[in-house]
Amino acid sequence: MARPDKEAAVAELADKFRDSGAVLLTEYRGMSVAQLKTLRRSLAGNAEYTVVKNTLAAIAARQVGFEAFAEDLKGPTALTFVTGEPVEAAKALRDFAKDNKELVIKGGVMDGSVLSADGVDKLASLESREVLLAKAAGAMKASLSKAAYLFAAPASKAVRTVDALRDKQEAAA
């Protein structure tokens, strides 16, 4: 029979899996406590970096339907439960991993689909949500400006033609 404390830990991990927009998997072998503290600070407010037991995390992952993710839980593993923007958390992990070679990004899961390490790197290379929204708004504004010019062009052309005819009649008289 399973121990109640382990059942509670699995239930808590399963809830975190469900509540997170993304979960990123890292290996932290060889990192000091100070380095982990720095990493947690860089993720603060956007994600929670947690060292977990692989067996408990695998059970919780299977409970929420992430069987493929559970297969990656080998070696010293830490999970980043992202509650904010996944792009920001992936960038923070990538930037920290550049400075600290001990941190290895192994993969993750986002919106129910499993990400490889390359997928997490691609996610980190995306621009922030605000920048992408601003670009979309700019593109829409440009399209609307072109449409307004197109609709106004026949009227302005007619006005220029009438002015040209008026000037021609005045010159002839």
Task: Identify the structural domains of the chain with CATH numbers, from first to last.
Answer: 4-126 (3.30.70.1730)
Query: At residue 80, does pLDDT exceed 80?
Result: yes
Q: Compute the half-sphere exposure of residue 127: CA atoms within 13 Å on the CB side of its CA.
A: 7
44-79: pLDDT as tens digits: 888 888 888 888 888 888 888 877 777 778 888 888
Measured distance between the N- and C-terminal CA atoms of the chain, rounded to whole angstroms: 110
CA distance 33 to 50: 13
> Model-level pTM greater than 0.85?
no
Residue 105 neighbours by CB distance under 10 Å? 23
